[in-house]
Amino acid sequence: MAMGKQPISTNVALAALCLLAPLALAVEVSVSSSVGAGLVFTDNVDQTASDRQGSLITTANADFGLDVSGVDGNVLLLNYGLSQLFYSHDGNDNALYQTLQFEADKGIGNGFRVDAIASIENIAAAIDENANADIFSGDTVESRQAEIGLSYQSNPLSDSNLSARIFGIVINNEDDIGNYDGIGASLSFSNGPNVRDMFWLIEGTYDYKQSQGDDPNTSFVILREEIGFQTMYRWVPFVRLNYENYSGLTDADSDDMLSWGPAVRYFWTKTTYFELSYNFTETENQSDFWAGAIYLRPSPRTLLRASYDKRTFGDAYFFLLSHRSRRLTNEITYEEEVTNFDRDTFVSGANIAEATLERRLTWLSTLEARRSTFIFSLYRFEVDALNATNNDGDESGYGASIAADHRLSRRFSVSALIDYSDYHFKNLDTPDQDDHYWTFSIDGSYTINPEVVLTAGVEHNTRSSSLPDDGYDENRIYLELSVDL
């Protein structure tokens, strides 16, 4: 459950008001609302290794939803929730939390669209302190985000295809760590289907973040270009150019790279090709290099993409495999990205404004049977300081989960979850930290009538750590009644 303590920000409200008026002409409107109450008993509310404190938590919830769609692709999605918690062991812990999910998208004519998103959620304060923190145990902060953008899409059937977007974003966290105002832009310009002799692709992104604290501003620029000739003999020659510029806090996390060179693609079929290029670097201390890629699309339901290249941080890899059948969906991805101001991987004491390189591998598999749904996920990530002289603060982790939901009857369904995660934090002045988390849960939901649902379940959380005082185990029993209005 992801909820926060602060009032909804003015940025979120403004983003909503900007798009409510145009969407008033939408032809389909769906409104939902519900209230609920529940009890949660935990035998270790503070999730501590010693001095365990039990508590009976009473919850009172209210939720509101709005879904608007129109014939022109207009969309507005709004989900807002409030939850009041009352603790039996200490009334000072009582708190009101909120959640928000807001999305809007509206065409304004001649290929232009305006879009907005906003969210409020509760996240772990720092993953090295307690990666599994939630609103019942504490150690969380409210994170608020609002973004509004303007995009343009040309007619894809013309001689050229242009898509572009500019946006502004505001991030505010309850503890003021990672707060920033930002602007950004993306551009994609390519040939249209009517161009038979040549092809081109120009892609660029710009990301600027202005810290609301004392940190300097940061900016990331990425540019990719491909220009070549279309032939009748499966061999397609072209020239590629790559440029990156990362302006971080200091010289340690700032760098740029420019490379260009000849390349060729060989098409086995219209949707399958192999690519090879030789690249000359115009950056000091960087050597020329070979790069390659493969793209396979044997059927509309199967896709394989893989590539090797060089970027400012060295060797760069990308992988995507997706396959979809009638009941089973699989997707495996591996990506590498330079980022900063990322609260999802924030470690206490780190400078969140510093640029880091994040490598992430994910595997998601979903099986949908007649009465059951099974979801398997697997991930691994690494976060390294960009061009840093040491690896202090580097982190890595992996995890897996299996979730199952089974409908026993029209009124009764059960669900279960097994989740494991592992984190490793590198430190120079102190021993490295290793944390291991397990979560087991099972619950049942009974539909008393179409408007009233009763849910009951149990959950076990455990953490083991190389730090002697950071391990814990916790058991929860919960009961909740929800009524649709």
Structure tokens at 210: 């202005």
Q: Where is average pLDDT lowest: 23-32, 43-52, 321-330, 469-478?
A: 23-32
Indicate the residue type of 140.
T
User: What is d(CA 295, CA 321) in angstroms, rounded to the nearest whole number?
Assistant: 10
| Span 330-353, pLDDT tens digits | 999 999 999 999 999 999 888 899
Which of 263, 268, 246 minimizes the C-alpha distance to 255? Answer: 246
| Span 118-145, pLDDT tens digits | 999 999 999 999 999 999 988 899 999 9
User: What is d(CA 469, CA 462) in angstroms, rounded to the nearest whole number?
Assistant: 13
Model pTM? Answer: 0.86
* DSSP secondary structure of 291-343: EEEEEEEEETTEEEEEEEEEETTEEEEEEEEEEE-SSEEEEEEEEEEEE-S-G
3-class DSSP state for residue 344?
helix
Beta-ladder partners of 225: 202, 241
pLDDT, average across residues 433-454: 95
| Span 225-250, pLDDT tens digits | 999 998 878 899 999 999 999 998 88
